[in-house]
Amino acid sequence: MTRPVSAELAAFAVDTSWSDLPHDVQQEALRALTNGLAAGLGGAGDLAVKAILRSLRPMSAAGQCSLIGESERVDMGLAAFVNAAAINVLDFDETHVGTIIHPVAPVAGAALALAEELGATGSDLLGAIVIGIEAACRIGNAISPGHYARGWHITATCGIFGAALAASRLLRLDHGQTLHALGIASSQASGLVETLGTMAKSVGVGHAARGGLTAALMAREGIEGPSAPLEGRLAFLAVTSDRWEPEKIVEGLGADWEIQRLMYKPYPCGVVLNPVIDACLWLRTEPGFDATQIRLVEVRGSELLRARTDRPDVTRGREAQVSAQHAVSISLLRGAAGAAEFSDAAVNDPDVIALRSRVGHIVVAADMAEDEAHVRICFADGTVIQRLVTTSLGSLETPLSDGMIAEKMRALAAHGGTGVHADGVLSAVSALPAAPDSAALMQALRAQEPSVEP
């Protein structure tokens, strides 16, 4: 007899071990964690992350869990919240194709904290992260695209379920307890697209990590939830989507792996901006290119590109993460699109502001996919250059190599200013499959001296 969807997902989380995973899935887990920690090192010094830590510290107990880029040790709930926020804050983490979930932040935020608290092996930590990513993304598949279109921030809403199952595995909960963890997570699932471009986005993602961890801990102590928290009549899928397909949660479960549909970002912004930036960086290499002579820039793309990034009037770096006008102007002016190019200083550079005013509103092309973009530049002398990008850097077709992800970590470790040495983190991640615990990784992620808050 086939189990109900929620129960089947819970059983899968309990019964699947690291050794059961195909080799390529195991390798992708290392890539996903490396990329996520790179983003976390870059985001650790962000004003929002520092403010979250200050806000929650008075409500937290003493603990021994590590914070990325900090020397202090905190309780695991605070560590889960702050580390998830740090990984997601720069919008430089990964993206799941089809749902645009960024699952590593909430899942790894919870798993790293709990694994450190328990002394779990490196393979147990990695296995929990894979299961958490699988759950979050499969639940996202069941409600996409309507869920996000209605305004739910899918990283937070689905991420809490991934965090709950990752934590349940590490706690070695049984089938029933794990199902209850899903139910407890369903009572907390939230997050709004309206928060994108503000500090509150990071709050939602941090809450998903801590909420999922809390759900598993409560389930261990006997707190019960509904029997069908995902597919029930008034459960998560039905309440948060106009059209839901619960079967997508379990189709191919254990055979087809969602972690293999993660794209790793080359730029710290919404993934729909990747082809826009690629086009601009290519056009900038045209012979005789002179940004000061640009009269008008036209951008064509999908409806999602227009809906999420047609924001010409930005004043802060976090707003720029979802602004096509800023992405175009900074790429054309500087020939780069790294963390520094999406900072407050870059957004308020007079030259960037001047060029941004010459980037028109996004034109929707019905025949263009969400990972495509066309950029057309008109110069004062009447010259026109243009570029269509159909496969952007970081996509599944043109993925970042392991070496590129390592270089991304080195660049972001320097940007974050925490003093953490990227090569030490890279070595510790690669050693995780055989590591007796995560102590070496967490030590590598900690700042050796108290950081100075901006």
Predicted confidence at residue 454, as pLDDT, reads: 47
Question: What is the rounded average pLDDT of the residues 117-123?
Answer: 98
Question: And the tokens for 142?
Answer: 């069941």
Return the exposure string of 267-289: e unless at least 16 CB atoms fall within 10 Å of the residue's CB, then b.
bbbbbbbbbbbbbbbebbeeeeb
| CATH 3.30.1330.120 residue window(s) in the chain | 271-389
Share of the chain above pLDDT 90, in %: 95
Q: Are strands 262-264 and 94-96 parallel, antiparallel or unpaired?
A: antiparallel
Expressed in angstroms, the distance from the first to the final Cα of the chain is: 58
Predicted confidence at residue 1, as pLDDT, reads: 40
Question: What is the rounded average pLDDT of the residues 15-43?
Answer: 97
Q: Measured between alpha carbons, how far is 214 from 26 in angstroms, rounded to an integer? A: 27
Q: pLDDT-derived band of residue 370, with 50, 70 and 90 as boundaries?
A: confident
Q: Measured between alpha carbons, how far is 134 from 20 in angstroms, rounded to an integer? A: 14
Question: What is the rounded average pLDDT of the residues 128-136?
Answer: 98
Beta-bridge partners for 299: 375
| CATH 1.10.4100.10 residue window(s) in the chain | 5-265+398-445
- Give me the CATH topology for the region 271-389: 60s Ribosomal Protein L30; Chain: A; (3.30.1330)
Predicted confidence at residue 449, as pLDDT, reads: 60
Question: What is the rounded average pLDDT of the residues 373-391?
Answer: 97
Question: And the tokens for 219?
Answer: 């389930």
The pLDDT tens digits for 223-269 are 999 999 999 999 999 999 999 999 999 999 999 999 999 999 999 99
- pLDDT for 451 beyond 70: no
Q: Measured between alpha carbons, how far is 19 from 359 in angstroms, rounded to an integer? A: 51
Predicted confidence at residue 2, as pLDDT, reads: 65
- Establish whether the linkage from the previous residue to 22 is cis, with ω within 30° of 0: no
Predicted confidence at residue 131, as pLDDT, reads: 98
Question: What is the rounded average pLDDT of the residues 338-345?
Answer: 95
Q: Measured between alpha carbons, how far is 168 from 220 in angstroms, rounded to an integer? A: 8
Q: Measured between alpha carbons, how far is 163 from 102 in angstroms, rounded to an integer? A: 12
Give the rounded distance of the alpha carbon of 241 from its chain centre.
Answer: 21
Q: Out of 314-318, 403-407, 445-449, which region has the weakest mean confidence (pLDDT)?
A: 445-449
| Domain at 5-265+398-445, CATH from 1.10.4100.10, 2.60.40.730, 3.40.50.2300, 3.10.350.10 | 1.10.4100.10
**Among the listed residues 26, 22, 23, 1, the one whose alpha carbon sits nearest the alpha carbon of residue 11:** 1
Q: Measured between alpha carbons, how far is 165 from 209 in angstroms, rounded to an integer? A: 11
Predicted confidence at residue 3, as pLDDT, reads: 81
Residue carrying the six token digits 């195909």: 22
Question: And the tokens for 7?
Answer: 């129960």
The pLDDT tens digits for 201-221 are 999 999 999 999 999 999 999
Question: What average pLDDT is seen over the chain?
Answer: 96
